[in-house]
Amino acid sequence: MVDVRIEQSWKSKLAKEFEQDYFAGLTDFVREEYRQYTIYPPGRLIFNAFDLCPFEQVRVVILGQDPYHEPGQAHGLCFSVQEGVPLPPSLENIFREIRQDLGEEPLPSGNLERWARQGVLLLNATLTVRAHRAGSHQNKGWERFTDAVVHRLAEEKQGLVFLLWGAYAQRKGEFIDSNRHLVLKSVHPSPLSAYRGFFGNHHFSKTNQYLQSQGLDPIDWR
């Protein structure tokens, strides 16, 4: 079994994954990539989404695809960038929809740790990437691992909100039982698609209404 440095509740929930041959192969691949190339995020932040949002605290899941692949951006949370980094276009559009939907001004920082600490799991399908090479760590095992994460959440918890933006996220979450969870779908917030249905999807207010209907605190999306 590979000894993975990840938050303890997730380590327990995902123990069977860490025992699988595919995960050992993935670990070997990732280690070699970090040895030879510049890889994002920094190694200590690969599992940052899990470390900031323990299994028991997850209330909302946002599914992304790949980490950002330019310097200083990725830190293990989908759509989020490190402090002081300009907002990428998709995140600008997310903030724009928050303004329109909630009538609130998001904080200027693109660091979404503030969401993660409230129970929003910001999960990329692939957790590492080679610098300047989008998609370079796809189909190496990460997708199987993050599929297991989504399955575990969908099957063991009840009343989660899954935000599935774009065809990739929707395929990854197509098995989720919408009688058990709130599943919200729209096009991706990318500038290429946001005008085709991301703007005006009201996913942030719908998420909070659903949480409050279960007696839970809303997410402060600012």
d(CA 208, CA 115): 13
Which listed residue (3, 21, 66, 220) is catalytic?
66
For residue 40, count other CB atoms closer than 10 A to its CB. 25
Note if 66 is an active site residue.
Answer: yes
Phi-psi region of 76 (alpha: psi -120 to 50; beta: other; left: phi over 0): left
Instruction: Give residues with Cβ within 8 angstroms of 118, minimum separation 6.
Output: 59, 217, 219, 220
d(CA 165, CA 77): 15
d(CA 163, CA 126): 17
Radius of gyration of the chain (CA): 17
d(CA 183, CA 203): 10
| Residues with a known catalytic role | 66
